[in-house]
Structure 1
């Protein structure tokens, strides 16, 4: 079962990451981890299958509840040009595949994931209940990478 007490971020789609960092940082009293730019972020969606898309993002360094700002390629799940604002909440889970499948059996849908279902959805999956709010299930094994990044280190990858 998903432990909602392991909620750790709110994902916000923005059309201009630098502007959003400036607008929100000072007003909300947060500083930002180093900006991550992935020219070929892998994402799977039920509609388009596996694809590589451009994604730029950062997180607030302060927690335990972090803000995630996402500037995504036009037409992707992370595109904030037409509908910016809160997009999802993220929660650590120990088994992305098992929790995603459990959500599907409860009537939820998958909006996107790091990998196709046959590959266990990868390190994250966006799941959506019939009521609509997106929940991002994030593999807890990568939590230490994020903690390091929020402390001023680099994010790295699961291969590091």
Structure 2
């Protein structure tokens, strides 16, 4: 994992539309479509199906707005930034590297091939990293592509 692999800042919010509107008003952010839905994730307490939903800004720096899920790690964070997202060629290896540096695994999800698709890990100081498999890159890039690039019709 390298700093150049960083691709988004995640913001978890209980007021999804209001936060989106505010970031648009203050910074001129434009947004891709809201994506997601019920997802099976591994948590320290066991497997859970959570309704993970988000939208990405279409401009950089890339922001990800995530709908809050009370009682989980997906709750708003004091200071606003919930996590820093990085692409990973090998999520399992990068997760192990972070664990050796003291990061605690908070959540993970495997892809269709059974290999880790994403993980969330937190340092002792609260800094949270999301590792996302580069196998997801083409699909996620559609989340911040312009309507014309996505092939949307008027």
TM-score exceeds 0.5: yes
SS of match in other structure, 2:81: strand
Q: Are residue 72 (structure 1) and residue 68 (structure 2) matched?
A: yes
Moved over 6 A (4+): none
Measured after TM superposition, the shift of residue 69 of structure 1 is 0.6
Alignment of 1:1-150 (within 5 A): 2-38=1-37, 40-46=38-44, 48-63=45-60, 65-80=61-76, 85-115=80-110, 120=115, 122-150=116-144
Structure 2: gaps (5+ residues): none
**TM-score, L = length of structure 1:** 0.81
Structure 1: gaps (5+ residues): 155-160
State the superposition RMSD in angstroms: 2.0
CA contact (8 A) 1:12 1:84 kept: no
1:49–1:90 Cα change, 3 Å: same
CA displacement 1:27-83 (0-9 Å, x = unmatched)? 111100101241x2222111x2110012221110112x2111111322121123x85
Distance in 1 (alpha carbons) for counterparts of 2:141 and 2:92: 23
Distance in 1 (alpha carbons) for counterparts of 2:126 and 2:62: 22
SS of match in other structure, 1:114: strand
Distance in 2 (alpha carbons) for counterparts of 1:23 and 1:94: 34
